[in-house]
Amino acid sequence: MLRFAVIFLAVIASSTCQKYGCLEGDTQKLEPSPEPSIQECTLYSKSSCCYADFTKQLAHSPVIKVSKSYWNRCGQLSKSCEDFTKKIECFYRCSPHAARWIHPNNTAAIQAVPLCQSFCDDWYEACKDDSICVRNWLTDWEWDRSGENHCKNKCIPYREMYTNGTDMCQSMWGESFKVSESSCLCLQMNKKDSIAIKYLLSKSSEESSSSSSSSSEERACQNKLLKFEKLKKKEGEKTK
Ligand SMILES: *[C@@H]1O[C@H](CO)[C@@H](O)[C@H](O)[C@H]1NC(C)=O
Ligand SMILES: *[C@@H]1O[C@H](CO)[C@@H](O)[C@H](O)[C@H]1NC(C)=O
């Protein structure tokens, strides 16, 4: 029965249907639902693949560990670096859209989620002086019998581990993320994602998106983003 459910979900996830369900990690729901009392990962409160309870372990600083994975093996992360790490954790655990990029061979994993260059560069800037002992967070730990992670190699600064933001985004979580060539059809783990998601989801339904249709999508996305930013500015002026 479970096996059937797994296959069924995978079929839903790979079809052009707009409903993707959730990834099959150890904390995800079967399907996203609202979490009005969520404390962290609030970007996903309207439709979330994680329970509000899960985010409690992220809702303070410093974060010591998430599930069984310790974040402080090379010392406490700086606040700004920790904030970016939370954004990634929130996306993987809570985003109702993560399953759009489900890995074909591993339904708990994602593949080639398009991140914005600026997001990766800012993330790198925030973390470059923090320390890390794994290049790939998913594979390079030594896991003990109780499932806890330990360093195999010595701690070095992020800026030595990764050459730049692109290298970091495309290495730290294995194949999970890629840096997008577009500055609009990409995620940056904030409210603007809702615009990008709209176009990224419709893109997936076109099996063979020609370069002309993708450039018109790019323009449509940029226009929408511009409008969004103008609206934000107006709102900002009103509340002054
Ligand atoms: C999935 O597994 C198949 C067969 O082992 C392999 O050929 C393919 O490259 C894998 N796909 C990815 C994205 O890893
Ligand atoms: C980032 O580093 C890679 C090598 O890891 C290099 O090929 C690439 O050009 C660099 N990108 C930028 C924007 O500097």
| 190-211: pLDDT as tens digits | 999 999 999 998 865 444 445 5
Which domain-ending residue is among 179, 207, 226?
179
CB 89 within 8 A of CB 66: yes
**Domain match, 42 and 114 both:** yes
Same domain, 25 and 138: yes
Domain boundary among 179, 204, 226: 179
Cα-to-centroid distance, 174 and ligand 1 (Å): 14
Residue type present at position 156: I
Which residues span the domain enclosing 226?
192-240
Q: What gap in Å lies between CA 112 and CA 101, rounded to an integer? A: 7
Whether residues 201 and 174 fall in one domain: no
> 50: CA distance to ligand 2 center in Å?
34
Q: Using 50, 70 and 90 to split pLDDT, how confident is the model at 1?
A: low
Whole-model pTM?
Answer: 0.86
Between residues 83 and 217, which one has the greater pLDDT? 83
The answer to whether residues 131 and 215 belong to one domain is no
Residue 83 makes CB contacts below 8 A (sequence gap 6+) with 126
> Does one domain contain both 44 and 110?
yes
Does ligand 2 lie within 6 Å of residue 117's CB atom?
Answer: no
186 part of a folded domain: no
84 and 8 part of one domain: yes
Regarding whether 154 and 111 lie in a shared domain, the answer is: yes
Nearest protein CA to atom 1 of ligand 1, as residue: 105
Q: What is the pLDDT of residue 205?
A: 46
Please, are residues 47 and 31 in contact by the beta-carbon 8 Å criterion? no
For residues 130 and 209, state if they share a domain. Answer: no
Residue 73 belongs to a domain? yes
Q: How far is CA 119 from CA 1, 41, 125, 205, 226, in A?
A: 41, 17, 10, 26, 18
Q: Is residue 24 part of a domain?
A: yes
Q: Do 123 and 59 share a domain, yes or no?
A: yes
Q: For residue 216, is pLDDT > 90? A: no
